[in-house]
Amino acid sequence: MASTPSAGAGTELHRWMTPRRLMGVSVVVAVLTIGLKTMAWWVTGSVGLLSDAMESFVNLAAAMFGLWMVTVAERPADEDHPFGHHKAEYFSSGFEGILIIGAAGAIIWAALPRFWQPQPLEQVGWGLALSVASSVLNGVLAWVMMRASRMHHSIALEADAKHLLTDVWTSAGVVIGLLLVGATGWLWLDPLVAIGVALNIVCEGGRLIWRSARGLMDGAVEPEVQSEIDAVLARFARSEGGRDIVLFDHVMTRKAGARRFVNLHMHMPARWTLRQADDLRHQVEAALAQGVPGLHASIQMLPDDVEPITADLDEPPPPPATEVPA
């Protein structure tokens, strides 16, 4: 019985960690880190810390846009969007990738003049302390958001978590750069680290844009989800006398944000009544929903000796069937 409160607490935490709430927390944390990193740049004059602060402004813009998109994604289906609004999260991820690349360009622009006009750094200790404090905030939030993204299959949360992790690595690089400047006196290391940070976050931005584009193209579900679907269908397939009497084919899947969809054909003996066929379909739908929470299944019932007419989009439609004279 001692484990009951813990399990209940875990369930409540899961319910609280919705994409919308976590994106709201991300907005608040972005404001706090902007303040800390801007102060770190102000007291040191380091262009590396300036680049870190500029990326935090990108974090804020991305978190605000992400909050808007996950709010849209939670809207129920309506007349204009009968399949729901789940793909809105892909716009958040793509927008975040574009902002990351834009921030990288701004960082490089600010860092290049420091190569031919180096400036001494001041109060490096305070700058490092403020930068590390902001990194801890971002790191903890990124860890929580990554866990929640797996629970909710939310690409918006995953994109923001990866962006925050990029920010943590950025800060780590800047801190190392400042330590090297302090140890060697080579002021050119400061802009060099800033440019290295910019090139690193360009890669992350490109990956986010690519994932968003793939999501908008209606890609198939993940391999582990497909395996679960196949396992469920295999349990309901039946054979009799070496002949398949219940079989499934034309299984097609797609994912849209947090939702997963599967369309398939279910072939049954022609002698079955509609009630028998419908009962089996409901059993299959319930098993699929249990195996893959949130899965939306569309099952077309057919006799075992019938195949539906399907037209390839690249080919002209088949001619209409001629009427049989009475």
DSSP readout, 174-188? HHHHHHHHHHH--TT
Give residue 280's pLDDT: 92
233 phi and psi, to 5 degrees? -65, -35
CB-count burial class (<10 Å; 0-12, 13-18, 19+) for 126: middle
Give residue 257's pLDDT: 66
Q: CA separation (Å) from 13 to 18, 88, 147, 210, 240?
A: 9, 25, 12, 32, 49
Give the chain's residues under pLDDT 70: 1-16, 47-48, 51-52, 55, 118-125, 127, 257-258, 306-326
Give residue 131's pLDDT: 75
Give residue 128's pLDDT: 72
CA 44-47-50 angle, to 5 degrees, is 85
* pLDDT single digits (tens) 46-76: 766 776 677 677 778 778 877 887 788 777 7
Whole-model pTM? 0.58
Closest CA to 48 of 142, 119, 96, 116: 119
